[in-house]
Chains A and B, each alone.
Chain A
Amino acid sequence: MITLTPERVSPTTNERVSALRVRILRDPSFGILALLVVVCGVMAFTEPTFATAGNLTNIINAMMTVSFLAIGMTVVLIAGGLDLSVGSVMALSAGVVASCLNNGMPLAVAFVAALGVGAGIGLVNGLLITKLGIPDFIATLAMLGLAGGFLLYWTAGVPILGYMTDAYYYIGGLRQIAGPVTVPMLLVLAVGVAVSILLRRTTYGVKFYAVGSSPTGAKNAGIRVDRIKIAAYVISGLMAAIAGIHIAGRTTTVPPLIGNGYEISAIAAAVIGGASLFGGKGRVIGALVGALTLTLTRNIINLTGVESSWQAVVTGLVLILAVLANQAWSGIARSIGASRS
């Protein structure tokens, strides 16, 4: 999954950094954004309930879970990895939070425990991949089975109930704090801005792009590739844990299969948002656009009354179409850039 592109230029780190900045700015997630604007415009005219405040807040609240996962996935993809375990990690973290609360622990302790589980699994993923050289696909696939199997075994298939408190209704986004604003919205914003700053405004963040676009090049430039990769998986694990904390509040129970298929949504959202499985590309804002695309697809299917059996087909087509749109955008952006210079 990782292509080794031969390192040609840039002996100094500074040059490398500025070159990367330019590449990041040309990120292609605007392609899908343009597509979304068109689709939403059409929907607004044909379906009167679509462009209502109620529907839009529903969509935003519904995209929160995938947004957290997609932000984490984007970081991993940028660093040239892949994390299939996030669905299970999210479910396990949700289970940890719920059972901590049921055992009378304070909210903060429950959160720390869940975040610890997420970060711990991320660390194990990172170590397996970097120190033992197991392919990312396989290591995180095994972790998907491990974490999911553990939760199923632990709960024997019975959902965890009865942990909801008033505070938790806010965390799940079921209650608004002011107007239509919910806690998860602020949380996604905060996490998104933080990760975005980390990735794009710090030299540490640029190393993720460097490692993803060319591991050997990064190594030659003195970057500790293994550490960056491990950090990426830890971030992804943390994001999955945050998603778990959130979804436990949104669904008000934790059935052990709650995370099924979320890893695929997360990858899809990240890639729709311009992240590349070849590494070195991706942006937080793109991840959010990707999550929005997936949520909109379902919303539009339900609103227009398309037979629900077509949902998977449409989702698949949207995925391919989105990547094509991004590709086309890059082409346009490149030609504009070429004509200017």
Chain B
Amino acid sequence: MPNFDGVSRRRMLRTAGLLAGAGVGGSLIAACSPNGEATKSAGGGSASSESFDDAIKKIVNGKEIKVGFTPPVLSENFTQIEHAAWRRMNEYEQRFGCKWVWERQAPVGDFNAVQGTLGIVQSWVSRKFDAIAVCTGANFATVQSLYRDATSKGVKIYQFNQPAELYPEDQLQTVTNVGYDNRWQSGYLAGKYIAEKLKGKGNILQIWGPSGSDWTRGRKIGFDRALAENPGIKVVGQADGGYVRDKGFAAAQDLLTKNRDVNAIYGENEEMALGASQAIDTAGLKHWDGTGGVLTIGADGLVSGYKQIKAGKLTATVDIGGVDQGQNLIEAIFLTAVLGQSVTQIINNPTQVVDKTNVDWHQSYTEWALAAPKKYGA
């Protein structure tokens, strides 16, 4: 599939499903060309019209929409999501004349700096933002009471990339959660991919993120399911890689020392999987070549990871749909905060295992998002 054609079709397929009940949603999306410019008749032959755009424009009426965006930490993954959001904002700005005020604040420190998130959200509430988009390592219960308070003050809260699937949906105090299911759309996929490639038999190592994080919990549930379905796959070692490369590297090295007879290494995120890949090199082992060697798989969908897949250093990764998350987050904000529509509480985006066979279009899609024509915020 050529890059941008693939982008556009995939996006339309997806968003048509997402906004099936939202009426105008389908046309909002379809009218956008992959380059993010407002074209009146883009692919798919969908029903966009000038009168539609004009009607929305009238409702928007040059309004200013204040959005706060707070990821748990600054990283390549969240940069991709933010750039994808900017793309969609730019599109709506050109077509409907809405003005965006964008503020990104991340707590300084690592994934554990959750107290910072609470303060950031609270300050945006007191500054009367229209919409606040949150992804945080903070506890579910903690943030729900914060969200309830914000909602009562007329500020709409959205979550992105948050493992909301681990908690009862009726307790969520958000407008919507734009993300994916860590269990079945990430952990399970990785486990199943390993089992398929190894033909149901082999020894694997697991490098996990910090104990107790919701992402880790979710992905573990999914991976365990895949293990249960494939009893021939044995976990011969696991360690904490702290979500960072050098710790993932060292942990994989230690585990490989103990067990050289390893067929695959699962890194719960991509940085750790890339660290594991380096450990394979230094241990003098072979990377997976389709039949033998050590298979490595991570999860995120970063450009740096895609490059390593092409170079044969990383076998695969789970693209968790960061670009779609960013775009759909803005769409959900626009539909609910500006047009007053309702959307479902959980909006899960497509994810996919990316390996050499499909890395090209995933990489192009991500790079397209990163080349957003306009930056918002500071």
Contacts and interface: CB of A to CB of B under 8 A. Distances in A.
A203 interface: no
Contact of B239 (A62, A159, A252, A302): A302
A35 interface: no
B85 to A, nearest CB: 14
A253 B271 CA distance: 10
Contact of A255 (B75, B238, B257, B281): B75
Contacts of A152: 74, 108
A309 B211 contact: yes
A327 interface: no
A302 B278 CA distance: 18
Nearest to A145: B108
Interface string A143-173: 0000001001000111101000000000000
Nearest to B78: A157
Range for the number of chain A residues in contact with chain B: 35 or more
B75 A157 contact: yes
Where chain B touches its partner, the secondary structure class is: helix
A297 to B, nearest CB: 11
Contacts of A47: 258
B291 interface: no
Nearest to B238: A308
Most buried by A among B73, B240, B255, B257: B257
Contact of B108 (A55, A149, A298): A149
Interface stretch (B158-166, B244-252, B356-364): B244-252
B110 interface: yes
A307 B79 CA distance: 33
Interface string B268-297: 000100110010011100000000000000
Contacts of A260: 109-110, 244
Contacts of A251: 245-246, 249, 275, 278
A36 B304 CA distance: 39
Contacts of B169: none
Given A62-B250, A252-B278, A253-B245, A303 B258 contact: yes
A58 B78 contact: no
Interface in B61-81: 73-76, 78-79
Contacts of B257: 49, 52, 54-55, 58, 303
A3 interface: no
Nearest to A54: B257
Contacts of B246: 65, 247, 250-251, 258
B296 to A, nearest CB: 14
Interface string A237-254: 000000000010011110
B208 interface: yes
B6 interface: no
A212 interface: no
Contacts of B258: 47, 49, 302-303
Most buried by A among B240, B249, B254, B271: B254
B178 interface: no
A308 to B, nearest CB: 4
B200 interface: no
Interface in A46-95: 47, 49, 52, 54-55, 58, 61-62, 65
Contacts of A299: 254
A104 interface: no
A62 B283 CA distance: 13
Given A251-B246, A308-B211, A157 B237 contact: no
A54 B108 contact: no
B254 A303 contact: yes
A92 to B, nearest CB: 15
A159 B304 contact: yes
Nearest to A299: B254
Given A258-B244, A260-B110, A303-B258, A250 B238 contact: no
Interface of A: 47, 49, 52, 54-55, 58, 61-62, 65, 149, 152, 156-159, 161, 174, 247, 250-253, 255-258, 260, 298-299, 302-303, 305, 308-309, 311
Interface of B: 73-76, 78-79, 106, 108-110, 208, 211-212, 237-240, 244-246, 249-251, 253-255, 257-258, 271, 274-275, 278, 281-283, 304, 307
Given A258-B244, A309-B212, 17 more contacts: A52-B257, A55-B257, A61-B282, A62-B253, A152-B108, A161-B304, A250-B249, A251-B275, A255-B245, A258-B246, A298-B254, A299-B254, A302-B237, A302-B258, A308-B208, A309-B211, A309-B240
18 contacts: A49-B258, A54-B283, A55-B257, A58-B282, A156-B79, A158-B79, A174-B278, A251-B275, A251-B278, A253-B245, A253-B274, A253-B304, A257-B110, A298-B254, A302-B251, A308-B211, A309-B211, A309-B212
